[in-house]
Chains A and B, each alone.
Chain A
Amino acid sequence: MKFSILVNEGPYTHQSSDSALQFARAVLDKGHEIYRVFFYHDGVNNGTRLTVPPVDDRNLQKRWSELAAAHALDLVVCIAAAQRRGVLDEGEAKRHGKGEGAANIAPGFRISGLGQLIEMGIQSDRLVVFGD
């Protein structure tokens, strides 16, 4: 079965990012497919490579990136929400004159529009929303 996941909250404040990650792992363990994970609102903060949590805490961005690498997941960060919150890829950093090296999108994530969220609602058998 094809699953998609929507994450509406940022990491470290609300449990929803952790819940979504645990759920995603379980979906894959059960032999299902994950069509896409979409990050919206503060959820886009899961996708910045600049977070440095204490060594004894989990690193959510890393967990997502590793899961994406292991299972070829499509992790999409909403462009409008990301720009508001300073999560940029190479192209967006350049376009907005933020200077060399400003891109902070983490490995395995890509930035795209809200159409990707609608599309995953159309293409997936199940869509599960995590938020506050």
Chain B
Amino acid sequence: MLHIVNKSPFQTSTLQSCLDHALAGDAILLIEDGVYAAIRGSAVAAAVTEAKGKVTFHALGPDIAARGIAPEKLIDGVTSVDYGGFVDLVAEHQTNQAWL
């Protein structure tokens, strides 16, 4: 399962809900305001880092760049993907779920 999260974790509990329901081996893709969860040293960084043992984390590069988040500010192990990578992630996973 690919989980797609587009909400800032500082605004809603969507990311937490997603983390609570993601199974081992799932992937999480952060897009739009969801990419703010990928910033190192934030209040949710520990939750993201802890979940990395169970799921893979990806964040949409164009959304990261648009929001002025420098690549070196990303949490280690969060992979930046472009829209082509977004398509590949969807294709690689049998199902995907948008956490709207």
Stretch with Cβ within 8 A of B (4 or more), from A19-27, A56-64, A74-82, A90-98: A19-27
Q: Which residues of B contact A128 (CB under 8 A)?
A: 4, 90, 96, 98
Complex contact B88–A19 (CB within 8 A): no
Q: Which residues of A contact B31 (CB under 8 A)?
A: 19
Complex contact B84–A26 (CB within 8 A): yes
Q: Which residues of B contact A22 (CB under 8 A)?
A: 62, 83
> CB < 8 Å: which of A27, A29, A32, A131 contacts B98?
A131
Min CB distance, A104 to chain B, in Å?
A: 27
Q: A15-B32, A19-B31 are in contact. Are A26 and B98 (CB under 8 A)?
A: no
Secondary structure call for the B interface: helix
Complex contact A3–B90 (CB within 8 A): yes
Complex contact A126–B91 (CB within 8 A): yes
The number of chain B residues with a CB under 8 A from chain A is: 17
B6 within 8 A of A: yes
Q: Mark A9-52, 1 if CB is under 8 A from B, else 0.
A: 00000011001001101110110100000000000000000000
Q: Which residues of B contact A27 (CB under 8 A)?
A: 87
Secondary structure call for the A interface: mixed
The number of chain A residues with a CB under 8 A from chain B is: 21
Complex contact B91–A32 (CB within 8 A): yes
A129 within 8 A of B: yes
Q: Which residues of B contact A132 (CB under 8 A)?
A: 6, 100
A interface with B by C-beta (< 8 Å): 1, 3, 8, 15-16, 19, 22-23, 25-27, 29-30, 32, 126-132
Identify 23 residue pairs between A and B in the complex whose beta-carbon atoms are under 8 Å apart, listed by A's number: A3-B87, A8-B100, A15-B6, A15-B33, A16-B6, A16-B32, A19-B32, A22-B62, A23-B83, A23-B86, A23-B87, A25-B83, A26-B84, A26-B87, A29-B84, A30-B84, A32-B87, A32-B91, A126-B90, A126-B96, A129-B4, A129-B100, A132-B100
